[in-house]
Amino acid sequence: MNFHHRNVKIVATMGPASEDEATLRALIAAGVDVVRLNFSHGTHEQHAAVLRRVREISHRLGKAVAVLQDLQGPKIRVGQLPTEPLSLKADETVILYPEDASPPKEADTKAIPVDFPDLPRVAHPGGRILLDDGHLELHTLTVDKPWVRAKVVLGGELRSHKGINFPGTPLDIPGFTAKDERDLAFGLKQGVDAVAVSFVRSAADVARVRQAIAQMAPERTDLPIIAKLERPEALQNLHEIIHAADGVMVARGDLGVELPPQRVPIAQKEIITMANHHAKLVITATQMLDSMIHAPRPTRAEASDVANAVFDGTDAVMLSGETAVGDYPVEAVKMMDAIVQEAEGHFTQWGHLAEMETSATRDDARSLTRAARELAHERDVAAIAVFTQTGRTAILMSKARPRVPIFAFTPEESTYRRLSMYWGVIPQQVPFANTVETMLRHVEAALRATTPIEPGQQVVVISGFPVGAMRPPNFALLHTVGEAG
């Protein structure tokens, strides 16, 4: 197929650098498939305004865009510092304390308030405390409740509300906070297309959010839940989390603070392989084009990182600060698009194709999508067309990783939008088709609108039969364009 088609999808995080109408339109036109609303920042009013803008632009451009709500989760942060920034020097002693407790009395020791009442229980002598994504490091000396005395190992400038990590210390705090609950209720009301859950440790953390959705919005229990993998415990429980969630995110920022950085590439490969094996969505996130926050060109290492995520088999790659607060948000998307397309041109040579699990998901849909891939390759077709209500057939087709684009036709708006997250899928919203002839008319119209069709070109069409009975797919057709009834 000779039109501009990228299989791996691009997720862009919103922020002050991208939320205005013109930039948002330019980002979507440049290739953004998923807009991420980060609920660690911003007000509900701001998020609602961005969501409205995304819907309008998506409608105007005729391009499916999913909105991903990212819940903050139990992130521990520095409280409000009396002076900004607080400069920490190697070897000096500082005192951390819960912001609700009284500050230490020593006037000559730097004090750091923390928004975590359990701090004195969790900190232990000899333990490491990382501040601001690991840019600053402390070692705990003594705990004299409520004050934790620590030595600065890696100094730097500390600002209010920066994140704190206690690597290697299991934290007994609820994964789904009161703020997450309020934010989720808001997201459900606004009609987000998927929700990401931060700091997931086990399948129970995913189940808790699914339960909350069932209570708050029983009609939206199929909302995809994406588990963010950023705690070491999550890697130990990877299998059960992947089973419980609809997708996962390789959240390399926090993961690389909790684990030594050299473990991150291996974790990425394990996560992507297992997610693909179980036909679940996988997003690779954080610092992909980090230097483009302040520069118009990425480093060569970043270009390699994006390409290698493509070869690892990710469904989507994500931009965070690059689009949220960067100086070059649109350039970052264009660069990501270019790197992904170049890598995809070499996917058969270097790409890693994980086979889908062969036992649990052995049903008609899985077998039919695999057969469709073989047929598509054997006959060198222009595309595969999938008719789907819930999106499941399109997801399985995507996970079979065919070498041709997947057009997914659905009358359901929510399915249309959420399918924009999946590898290779071009979502199409069409009125319900209850005859094969109507289906073929939809397929031909979509193909002709996208690419010049050559006489005799074929397309594989899969759907449920009888057509219109809304059953899982059991029907594959090798259609020659122009021969519609």
Select from 69, 165, 276, 286 the one that contacts ligand PEP (CB under 6 A): 286
* Least distance from ligand PEP to the Cβ atom of residue 38, Å: 6
Instruction: Name the minimum Å distance from CB 14 to ligand PEP.
Output: 12
483 exposed, middle or buried (CB, 10 Å; 0-12, 13-18, 19+)?
A: exposed
Residues 67-96 that bind ligand PEP (CB under 6 A): 70
Query: Which is closer to ligand PEP, CB of 70 or CB of 322?
Result: 70
Residue 40 interacts with ligand PEP (CB under 6 A): yes or no? yes
Q: How many chain residues are in contact with ligand PEP, going by CB under 6 A?
A: 12
3-class SS string, the chain: CCCCCCCCEEEEECCCCCCCHHHHHHHHHHCCCEEEEECCCCCHHHHHHHHHHHHHHHHHHCCCCEEEEECCCCCEEECCCCCCCEEECCCCEEEEEECCCCCCCCCCCEEEEECCCCHHHHCCCCCEEEECCCCEEEEEEEEECCEEEEEEEECEEECCCCEEECCCCCCCCCCCCHHHHHHHHHHHHHCCCEEEECCCCCHHHHHHHHHHHHHHCHHHCCCCEEEEECCHHHHHCHHHHHHHCCEEEEEHHHHHHHCCHHHHHHHHHHHHHHHHHCCCEEEEECCCCHHHHCCCCCCHHHHHHHHHHHHHCCCEEEECHHHHCCCCHHHHHHHHHHHHHHHHCCHHHHCCCCCCCCCCCCCHHHHHHHHHHHHHHHHCCCEEEEECCCCHHHHHHHHCCCCCCEEEEECCHHHHHHHHHCCCEEEEECCCCCCHHHHHHHHHHHHHHHCCCCCCCEEEEEECCCCCCCCCCCEEEEEECCCCC
CB atoms within 10 A of CB 16: 12
- Residue 195 CB, nearest distance to ligand PEP (Å)? 13
Candidate segments 49-57, 200-208, 252-260, 413-421, binder of ligand PEP by CB under 6 A: 252-260
Residue 309 sits in the site that holds ligand PEP (CB under 6 A): no
Catalytic residue of the set 77, 208, 334, 441: 77
Q: Which is nearer to ligand PEP, 10 or 57 (CB)?
A: 10
Q: Does 140 bind ligand PEP (CB under 6 A)?
A: no
Q: Which is nearer to ligand PEP, 193 or 290 (CB)?
A: 290
Q: Does 164 bind ligand PEP (CB under 6 A)?
A: no
31 sits near ligand PEP (criterion: CB under 6 A)? no
Q: Any catalytic annotation for residue 36?
A: yes
| Cβ nearer to ligand PEP, comparing 129 with 396 | 129
The strand pair at 247-251 and 136-144 is best described as unpaired
The CB density around residue 178, as the number of other CB atoms within 10 Å, is 8
Cβ-based nearer residue to ligand PEP, 285 or 310 = 285
Query: Of the listed 6, 9, 36, 280, which one is catalytic?
Result: 36
Q: Does 285 sit near ligand PEP (CB under 6 A)?
A: yes
Q: How far is the CB of 290 from ligand PEP (least distance, A)?
A: 11
Measured from the CB of residue 118, what is the shortest distance to ligand PEP in angstroms? 21
Per-residue x/- track, 198-227, ligand PEP (CB under 6 A): x-----------------------------
Rounded to a whole number of angstroms, the minimum distance from the CB of residue 248 to ligand PEP is 12
Interface pattern 253-272 for ligand PEP (x via CB under 6 A): xx------------------
Site residues (CB under 6 A) for ligand PEP, limited to 337-366 = none
Smallest separation (angstroms) from ligand PEP to the CB of 408: 27
Any contact of residue 177 with ligand PEP (CB under 6 A)? no
Interface residue with ligand PEP, options 140, 202, 268, 320 (CB under 6 A): 320
Per the annotation, the verdict on 286 as an active-site residue is yes
Q: Is 230 in the site for ligand PEP (CB under 6 A)?
A: yes
Whichever of 333 and 404 has its CB closer to ligand PEP, that residue is 333
Longest dimension (CA), the chain: 86
- Which residues would be at the binding site for ligand PEP (CB under 6 A)? 38, 40, 70, 198, 230, 251-254, 285-286, 320
Q: Which residues are catalytic?
A: 36, 77, 228, 286
